Copies of this chain bind each other. A is one copy, B any other.
């Protein structure tokens, strides 16, 4: 049984800020967003969590192992170094989608994403140390079979990107509605999926579905662990096995 701890990271009142007093330079916004993401990724990552950039103004993190004090410290540190602040909602559950839904609700109840009086709210609860288990997290790391040979070295860069995006859009929707999973594009041709307790059959099915729907061929390595890093690292190793052996699904636990 998985027990995923999910944190929703929402920049407070970001939309209005980007156009006040008039629209800010796009390159500066892009720099700000991606560096803020990088900092959160480091903070969470060196405590063995994973952070996904998602929409940048709303990011999603898998934070098993981080307590509320860690979350508060992240808020304080960002508040000290950026012109924007963060609100955080934290929730846990066997279904990653439900956990994120609960985390979202906590933030929404504290105020709108464009409420200028909502600042640095921190709501929710974490998996206590005593309850952490070695199979709390299940992560699947997908990539596109021979993306370099089939796409990157063959098509123009945008058409390659379209193919990858169509594969991702299809997978994210399917994994969410069929399997209660959260899928995140992480660059290149890689998609990391935070899953409940799924087995080989579900992954076979998902790969088949994407192939049928948009003709993109995926492979996947799956791992479990106490933290996102542990599970994700096992998944990466499993994916290396797919690459080496030409298999499509490898579970490593």
Give the residue among A37, A100, A189, A229 with the most B Cβ atoms within 10 A.
Answer: A37
Binds B, one of A121-129, A154-162, A200-208: A154-162
Quick check: B100 and A156 within 8 Å, CB to CB? yes
Quick check: A229 and B27 within 8 Å, CB to CB? yes
Within the complex, the shortest CB–CB distance from A141 to chain B, in Å, comes to: 8
Contacts of A15 in B (CB 8 A): 148, 188
Interface residues of A in 4-39 (CB under 8 A from B): 8, 10, 14-15, 18-19, 22-35, 37-39
Quick check: B34 and A30 within 8 Å, CB to CB? no
Quick check: A46 and B45 within 8 Å, CB to CB? no
Return the chain B residue nearest A31 by Cβ: B38
A195 within 8 A of B: no
Contacts of A189 in B (CB 8 A): 55
A211 within 8 A of B: no
Within the complex, the shortest CB–CB distance from A94 to chain B, in Å, comes to: 16
Within the complex, the shortest CB–CB distance from A207 to chain B, in Å, comes to: 19
Quick check: B162 and A173 within 8 Å, CB to CB? yes
Quick check: B188 and A14 within 8 Å, CB to CB? yes
Return the chain B residue nearest A233 by Cβ: B23
Number of interface residues of A (CB under 8 A): 89
Contacts of A247 in B (CB 8 A): none
A169 within 8 A of B: yes
Contacts of A39 in B (CB 8 A): 42
Contacts of A38 in B (CB 8 A): 30-31, 34-35, 38
- Of the candidates B58, B80, B103, B153, the one whose C-beta lies within 8 Å of that of A28 is B80
A176 within 8 A of B: yes
Return the chain B residue nearest A112 by Cβ: B153
Residues of A within 8 A of B (CB): 8, 10, 14-15, 18-19, 22-35, 37-39, 41-46, 49-51, 53-58, 60, 73-74, 76-77, 80-83, 97, 100-101, 103-105, 108, 112-114, 148, 152-162, 164-166, 168-169, 172-173, 176, 182, 186-189, 192, 229, 232-233, 236-237, 240
